[in-house]
Structure formats: C-alpha cells, structure tokens
Amino acid sequence: MSGYAVSVRDLTVRYGRTTAVDRVSFDLEADGIYGLLGRNGSGKTSTLSVLASLRRATAGTVLVDGADPFENEALMAGIALIRESGDVLANAKISVNFDYFRRVRPAWDPDFAEELVDVFGLNRKKPISTFSRGQKSAFGAVIGLASRAPLTMFDEVYLGMDAPSRYRFYDLLLADYAEHPRTIILSSHLISEIERLFSGVVVIDEGRLLLSEDVDEFRTRGATFTGPVAAVDAVTAGLRVVASRSLGPTKEVTVYGDLDETTLAGARSADIAIGGVSVQDLFVHLTEKESR
Amino acid sequence: MFDGREPIYIQIADQIRGDILAGNLAEGEQVMSTTQYATTFRINPATAAKAFAQLVDEGVLYKQRGVGMFVAEGAPARLRSDRRETFLAERLEPVLAEARVLGIGSADLIRWIERAGDDPEQTTTEDTTTEGEQR
C-alpha cells in the first residue's frame, strides 16, 4: 500500500469565538515525510484533527486520497493520528491494545509491533495507564509505526521520550518508511533532530499558513556567512540578520531572505564560507517575527 | 555533515564522489544502499535515492538488480579528469583573467608557480609570516 496525498483548502476551525485555524491551504504529495511546524497553540493539532476526521472543519475542504475523510470509514482506517495524549486503550495491557488495532488497521503488522515493544523495552504485563510519560510516548510510536497507515501523523509524540528513545524512533521510522513508503506528517516545534528527514515543511503561526514548500527550497531562504569579522559585516550589511556569533577574529552570521548573485559572489571573493541554514533556525525566526 | 546551502542530494553526491577520489571507495566496491545511507545519516530516503540516481546517470555508480550499487570501473579516473577540467575552468581561469588585468605576464606567473611548487622551504617561510601577521 502506498501513501495518501493530502489537499487542504481554506481550512478554518473555530472553537466558539476562538479561531484556531484560519483559511489554511496546502498540498502534500503521497509518500513524502512532512514537518508541520508551529509554536504551541498555532493550530497544528486542530489541523491534524480535521485530517484524522476527529473534528469537523468549520469551513473549507480537506481531501485525503481525493476524498473527504469525515465519517468516511474506509478512508479513516488508513489515517492514523498519534497524539501524545494517547489514543490507546489506557486501562488495558499491550496485547489487548494490539488486538484492537489489528482489527481497525488493515495494514497492521503484528510481528513488527511485538518487535517494537522489545526495542522500546515496554512492559507487556501492565496496563498502559501505569506507564511513565516516556513509555506512553514510545507506545504511541509503536502503534503509529505498526499501523502502517497510508497517512500517518505523529503529533509531538516524540517530545515525551528521552534522547535515546527519540533517536531509536527516528531510525525505526526511516527504516520502515524506506520499506513501506507512506505519507508521514511529524508535527512539532522542536525539529533540529529531524529536519533532514523532511521532504517538505508546512509552517503555521497563530492559525495562519506562513509557508508550505519543498525543504531544499525552504533552506535556501537563508544562509550563514562565516569569515573574518570585517568582511562578514561588510557582506551582511543591509541583510536581515537572524543570528550572529563571534569567535575571536571569526564571525558567523545567519541571514534570512533571498540572496542575489552579487552578494554571494562578493562573499566568495572575500573568502567567506557560505553555508546552509537549519530549518529550526529559520522556523524560529519566522514565527518570532510574525507574532510581534 | 551536509551543512552547505545546496540541496542535500547534491551534497550527498559530492561526498560520494569525494570518497571515490580519495580512495575510500574502490572501483567495483559495493556502496551503501539508499536505505542504509538514509538511516545512517538520518536523512530522507528519497533524498538519498535522488543522489544515488544522479551518480548512476553519470556512470559513477552502477546498479546490479537485487544485489545493490557498486562503484563503476574507471570511475576514479573519470572523476579526476572531470575535476581537473573544473579546476582549470573555474579556479585557474579567473586567476589568469585577473593576472591579465594586473599586467602580470605568463613568464612571471610560471616563475611563481615553479617557486611555490619546487621550493617547499619558501612556502613554509611564507606560511609563518602570514600567521605572524594575523596575531
């Protein structure tokens, strides 16, 4: 089974007077790994909830694999949203949960699920509710991975895990995705560890879409210049500086915005090293500016 | 790793070319699969696949169905000659153009090149001077 494409048009979600998502539009190709980036309260979870048809859109349309997922049972079976809050049978043991997911997830892989339980060292004898925060997150990851849903969404699941578990999760996700391609959305605000996994990023802030693009395109929205202080200052004068660090006679300046060839050529001839900028740095810069 | 500004797949392809040139990957040697590469460096498998596809297109790597990908015969020599051409066209050519503007003749240039190449002691002395100036 391969992944579902996603198309969101003018999506609006309101809770009473609060507008959580405000006319957001974006498209995700099938079989990509996407980062849905936004600060806390930016509308990430509301957007994902509509995609998972846990919530109905106030206005706008959402298409998954070309159809509206709302109350579409066949489609919903192929859409998995894993939230940190659980979405599992908390008072039951792992085996009971697995029986349940085997019934609701057509592509469920029971052997893979058992293997994942061993990898994360989860206790098979106790109900999920007795697990620590990290273990609950890991169990969410197990469910998300073993479901192999054509649209799999992890909503900040890995934030509860400790570093070794997080890296285990990234590695398992990548290896399994390579074998069984599907559309994956990872939503978070902490992304430096995973930004190279993304094929595309969607950035939302205060319910509005800031941008949605290919990750290579996104990364060229900025650059880092490293070299002698005076030369770097000369080249970056007049540019939008995001961050700046000095180390003795050397300075590293991160800038945002399209760079023309003159600037780049000037930097090269002044022996300034031009580097890429991290998705995390760009994201922090974009959402800081927009909220002020 | 992969800190450059170019798309990551181009940086991956460059790195593999570099490994072949440096002899870390020998002719006929099997390279990592895209999956292994993606999981080792924690990058998107599609990105790794794009880099490998480019190298296959260039004849640097070849695919053996069901077995994997290997460094093509003659790849190191071909890469070296490509790099030499790039070096001459993109690095040396601007230097020569600048020399022309400054009125430095071929004889002068050749004398400089020979001095730098044949007399390592001279180079060492110059290096020390540069460092001294920086301090």
CATH number reported for the structural domain that contains residue A159 in this entry: 3.40.50.300
- Cα separation, A41 vs A21, in Å, equals 10
Task: Please tell me the total count of domains within chain A.
Answer: 2
- Residue in A191, A216, A274, A282 to test binding to B, most B beta-carbons within 10 Å: A216
What is the model's pLDDT at position A289?
A: 58
Tens digits of per-residue pLDDT, A238-275? 888 888 888 889 999 989 888 888 888 888 888 898 88
Specify whether A140 is located in the same domain as A240. Answer: no
- Cα separation, A88 vs A83, in Å, equals 10
Range of the domain at A270: 222-276
Of B5, B43, B44, nearest to A223 by CB-CB distance is B5
CB contact under 8 A, A33 and B44: yes
Closest Cα of chain B to A196: distance in Å?
Answer: 5
pLDDT at A179 over 50: yes
Across chain A, where does the E strand assignment appear? Answer: 6-15, 18-28, 33-37, 59-64, 79-83, 151-155, 183-188, 200-205, 208-214, 222-228, 240-247, 250-256, 273-275
| Residues of B in Cβ contact (< 8 Å) with A196 | 2, 8, 41-44, 47
| Residues of B in Cβ contact (< 8 Å) with A231 | none
Of A31, A33, A276, nearest to B5 by CB-CB distance is A276
A290 within some domain: no
ipTM above 0.90, yes or no: no
Alpha carbons within 13 A on the beta-carbon side of B115:
11
What is the model's pLDDT at position B122?
A: 46
Helix (H, G, I), strand (E, B) or coil at A244: strand
Least Cα distance to B70 among B30, B27, B109, B124 occurs for: B30
What is the model's pLDDT at position A85?
A: 67
What is the model's pLDDT at position B128?
A: 42
**Chain A residues with CB-CB distance to B under 8 A?**
31-33, 170-171, 174-175, 177-179, 194, 196-199, 215-216, 219-220, 223, 249, 274-277
Which ranges of chain B have pLDDT less than 50?
122-135
Provide the β-strand partners of residue A241. Answer: A255
| Residues of B in Cβ contact (< 8 Å) with A178 | 34-35, 38-39, 45
DSSP A67: B
- Cα separation, A251 vs A244, in Å, equals 7
> Which residue of chain A comes nearest to B10, CA vs CA?
A216
What is the model's pLDDT at position A189?
A: 83
A283 within some domain: no
Specify whether A253 is located in the same domain as A236. Answer: yes
Specify whether A237 is located in the same domain as A262. Answer: yes
Of B8, B41, B45, nearest to A216 by CB-CB distance is B8
Specify whether A146 is located in the same domain as A187. Answer: yes
Q: Which residue has the tokens 């094929």?
A: A199
Tens digits of per-residue pLDDT, A211-223? 999 988 888 888 8
User: Dihedrals φ, ψ of A234, to 5°?
Assistant: -65, -45
What is the model's pLDDT at position B63?
A: 93
| Residues of B in Cβ contact (< 8 Å) with A277 | 5
User: Residue A290's pLDDT band (boundaries 50, 70, 90)?
Assistant: very low
Specify whether A126 is located in the same domain as A199. Answer: yes
Tens digits of per-residue pLDDT, A60-115? 999 999 999 998 999 999 999 998 766 789 999 999 999 999 999 999 999 999 99
Specify whether A244 is located in the same domain as A135. Answer: no
Cβ neighbours, 10 Å, residue B55: 21
pLDDT at A152 over 60: yes
User: Dihedrals φ, ψ of A84, to 5°?
Assistant: -65, -25
Query: Measured between alpha carbons, how far is residue A270 from residues A226, A227, A235, A267, B63 in Å?
Result: 10, 8, 9, 5, 42
DSSP A145: H
User: Residue A277's pLDDT band (boundaries 50, 70, 90)?
Assistant: confident
All domains of chain B in start order, with CATH: 8-75 (1.10.10.10), 105-135 (no CATH)
Most confident segment among A101-115, A156-170, A190-204: A101-115
Specify whether A161 is located in the same domain as A254. Answer: no
A289 within some domain: no
A99 within some domain: yes
Which residue has better confidence, B112 or A120? A120
A10 within some domain: yes
A126 within some domain: yes
What is the model's pLDDT at position A207?
A: 94
Q: Which residue has the tokens 């999920």?
A: A128
Specify whether A105 is located in the same domain as A151. Answer: yes
Would you say B45 and A174 are in contact if contact means Cβ atoms under 8 Å apart?
yes
A288 within some domain: no
Specify whether A140 is located in the same domain as A159. Answer: yes
Specify whether A252 is located in the same domain as A197. Answer: no
Specify whether A270 is located in the same domain as A196. Answer: no
A287 within some domain: no
The pLDDT mean for chain A works out to 91
> Which residue of chain A comes nearest to B40, CA vs CA?
A171
Specify whether A167 is located in the same domain as A271. Answer: no
What is the model's pLDDT at position A66?
A: 95
